[in-house]
């Protein structure tokens, strides 16, 4: 599956653009981050930072080898009914930290169209507090669907060291398999 990253407009070095969603029509769970970090943007891959726990956790929960190549990892998620995307389509952010996202530059993704095209999604899992806060503030007020369940999960980012891998694994296991 090909991912694209749009080039930043001239003179705006901190402008970042997210990826297209990874989803099949039958996806039932949507995992949302806030905006890909620098390592992910450079590689045009979700959760590309080597210390991000997303792929090891997803592999453990869903039963695939976390070292397989990226397209195979995406296929494993899709086979399990899990979709990936981010709350933001674009923003200005120097570096990778969610705390550095400039609030006046946020452009949310089009969730109305996405959810209309993926009606089997009934659960949205937030990969970290910033993704949940951005969604609830900038997306939720615009949605008509009331049947969605929301789960706030500990961030898999290496910047979120407060929770152990085991604690993250337990929370994500319940979210992805329930």
- Token pair for 80: 């399990």
Q: How far is CA 2 from the centre of its chain?
A: 16
Active-site entry in 13, 52, 109, 127: 52
* Residue labelled with tokens 């609030």: 103
Q: Is 52 a catalytic residue?
A: yes
9 C-beta neighbours (distance < 10 Å), count: 10
Q: How far apart are the C-alpha atoms of 5 and 16, rounded to whole Å?
A: 9
- Token pair for 72: 């195979």
CA torsion 65→69→74→78, rounded to 10°? -50
Residues serving a catalytic function are 52
């Amino acid at each position: 599956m090909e991912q694209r990253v749009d080039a930043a407009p001239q003179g705006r070095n901190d402008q970042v653009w997210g990826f297209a969603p990874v989803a099949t029509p039958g996806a039932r769970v949507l995992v949302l981050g806030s905006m890909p970090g620098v390592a992910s943007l450079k590689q045009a891959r979700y959760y590309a930072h080597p210390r991000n726990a997303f792929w090891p956790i997803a592999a453990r929960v869903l039963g695939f080898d976390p070292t397989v190549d990226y397209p195979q990892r995406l296929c494993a998620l899709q086979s399990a009914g899990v979709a990936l995307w981010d709350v933001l389509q674009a923003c200005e952010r120097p570096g990778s930290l969610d705390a550095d996202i400039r609030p006046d530059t946020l452009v949310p993704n089009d969730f109305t169209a996405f959810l209309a095209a993926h009606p089997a999604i009934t659960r949205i899992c937030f990969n970290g507090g910033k993704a949940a806060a951005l969604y609830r503030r900038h997306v939720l007020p615009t949605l008509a669907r009331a049947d969605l369940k929301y789960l706030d999960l500990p961030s898999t980012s290496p910047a979120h060291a407060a929770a152990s891998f085991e604690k993250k694994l337990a929370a994500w296991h319940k979210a992805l398999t329930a």
